[in-house]
């Protein structure tokens, strides 16, 4: 009798163990299916978000409202979101020098100088342009105190040698917004990347050109220059966190020097 009871208990224990295994496996499979569903949904949402952002950027760019943006009454042809991200970087890095290739009317220059005046009492903006139109911008006391304007090409030795000498051993942030062709931007990147302090940024503007996503007929420009540059410079990485507002004219152009 006791042997029979023991056999029954053993069978019952085996059944319970088997059912436990089946239950655990079923729960694991259900959990895996749920995780896969969440993963694919996140991918779908990310793709949908990217598409919406791309379509909005095309609409925003074609509206040309960005050409009417002003700082202190001076034209700054930027998106508010890109200028906001730039001021965050200026605050974080607190550079001694901001090198800006491409001045135009000087509104963006004044914006950089304004932010810099609050975070670095000795900070300065060096801005370069072949034909600057800064008659109004240069009237501001801030311009006289914080801005050095160099008239010339951003890649000519006279200019680059002077800047390299001036910013030596200083904390440097660089932004490129001059001639938007592949060859010119790549040459700028090769020159000015050497001046960027580790931990600081080389910001390449207008990487949205040539179908990224605007003006697909533009031809190789800043984006293609960035892609080529990164293939041979592992000391810079793209910081996508600077694109958190979804609207940026510099997609993939926020390059952080990591070493």
Is residue 49's pLDDT more than 70? yes
pLDDT in tens, 154-163: 999 999 999 9
The pLDDT assigned to 242 comes to: 98
Q: Could you tell me if 194 and 233 are in contact, meaning their C-beta atoms sit under 8 angstroms apart?
A: no
pTM: 0.85
Kindly indicate the confidence band of residue 13, based on its pLDDT and cuts at 50, 70 and 90. Answer: low
Least trusted range by pLDDT, from 6-20, 126-140, 185-199:
6-20
Pure H helices in the chain: 2-63, 80-93, 107-119, 141-146, 157-166, 182-192, 222-232
- Could you give phi then psi for residue 101, rounded to 5 degrees? -90, 110
């Amino acid at each position: 009798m006791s042997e029979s009871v023991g056999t029954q208990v053993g069978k019952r224990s085996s059944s319970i163990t088997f059912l436990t295994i089946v239950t655990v496996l079923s729960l694991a499979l259900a959990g895996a299916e749920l995780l896969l569903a969440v993963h694919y949904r996140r991918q779908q949402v990310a793709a949908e978000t990217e598409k919406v952002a791309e379509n909005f950027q095309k609409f925003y760019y074609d509206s040309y409202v960005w050409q009417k943006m002003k700082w202190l009454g001076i034209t700054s042809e930027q998106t508010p979101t890109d200028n906001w991200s730039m001021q965050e970087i200026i605050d974080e890095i607190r550079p001694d020098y901001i090198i800006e290739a491409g001045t135009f009317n000087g509104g963006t220059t004044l914006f950089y100088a304004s932010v810099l005046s609050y975070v670095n009492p000795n900070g300065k903006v060096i801005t370069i342009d072949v034909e600057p139109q800064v008659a109004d911008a240069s009237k501001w006391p801030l311009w006289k105190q914080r801005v050095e304007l160099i008239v010339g090409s951003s890649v000519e030795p006279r200019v680059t040698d002077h800047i390299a000498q001036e910013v030596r051993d200083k904390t440097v942030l660089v932004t490129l917004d001059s001639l938007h062709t592949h060859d010119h931007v790549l040459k700028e990147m090769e020159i000015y990347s050497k001046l960027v302090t580790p931990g600081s940024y080389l910001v390449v503007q207008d990487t949205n050109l040539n179908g990224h996503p605007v003006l697909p007929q533009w031809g190789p420009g800043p984006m293609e220059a960035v892609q080529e540059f990164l293939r041979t410079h592992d000391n810079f990485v793209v910081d996508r966190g600077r694109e958190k507002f979804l609207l940026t004219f510099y997609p993939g152009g926020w390059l952080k020097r990591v070493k």
